[in-house]
Amino acid sequence: MERIKTEIPDLYVVEPRVFQDDRGYFFESYNEYKLKEQGLDIKFVQDNESKSQKHVLRGLHFQKPPFAQGKLVRVIKGKVLDVAVDIRQGSPTFGRYHAVEISEENKRMFWIPPGFAHGFVTLENGTIFFYKCTDFYNKESEGSILWNDPELNIQWGVDSPILSEKDQNAQRFSQFDSPFIYKQ
């Protein structure tokens, strides 16, 4: 596994080592020891999976402290554009986002630590999205920011995504009072 830095501190793409031949492929999608070697000392407590049709957009979601979640995300089937927005007060990249395409073909993973809002849009029908979480889901701690907020200017590549009611009615970034503080 290789940890690849993004332009936003603490946000990483993880490239697994894939062994492929005429029989198929094999790779370790999670190895605590190898992630630790890469500087990612992470304990996970919950796994989640979703299946979506093409152009479903889920996000931008986060959980407030004390139930803030870090997520290691990947795609089992299909393809997504995955987005993380820095929502840590005092961060030099506060309000900036990073997007990465992850798919069953490239087998990339994306590490999104606490202090980021997260979302994705599916680019293929039947996309299966999987993620490991560092804390348990807590409904009272959930929050969301409007996916198409003009201040964030996220380039999703989809004009009319399929959205939940919650995501349609999320708060604007300018109205968001972040409970997260950037720590150097």
For position 60, what pLDDT does the model report?
A: 97
Domain ranges of the chain: 45-179
pLDDT, position 45:
97
State residue 38's pLDDT score.
87
What is the C-alpha to C-alpha distance for residues 72 and 39, in angstroms, rounded to an integer?
Answer: 14
Q: Which residues are catalytic?
A: 61, 131
* H or E, element range at 34: helix 32-37
| Tens digits of pLDDT across the chain (184 residues) | 899 999 999 999 999 999 999 999 999 999 899 999 988 999 999 999 999 999 999 999 999 999 999 999 999 999 999 999 999 999 999 999 999 999 999 999 999 999 999 999 999 999 999 999 999 999 999 999 999 999 999 999 998 999 999 999 999 999 999 999 998 7
Q: What is the pLDDT of residue 184?
A: 78
Q: How far is CA 164 from CA 8, 85, 119, 148, 169, in A?
A: 28, 19, 12, 14, 9
Compute the distance between CA of residue 20 and CA of residue 18 in angstroms, rounded to an integer. 6
Cα–Cα distance, 21 to 43 (Å, whole number): 32
**Residue 6 burial by Cβ neighbours in a 10 Å radius (0-12, 13-18, 19+):** middle
3-state SS class at 134: coil
Domain 45-179, CATH among 2.60.120.10, 2.70.98.60, 3.80.10.10, 3.20.20.60: 2.60.120.10
Closest CA to 16 of 84, 81, 83, 106: 106
Q: Report the pLDDT value the prediction gives residue 1, as an integer from 0 to 100.
A: 87
Distance from chain centroid for Cα 88:
15
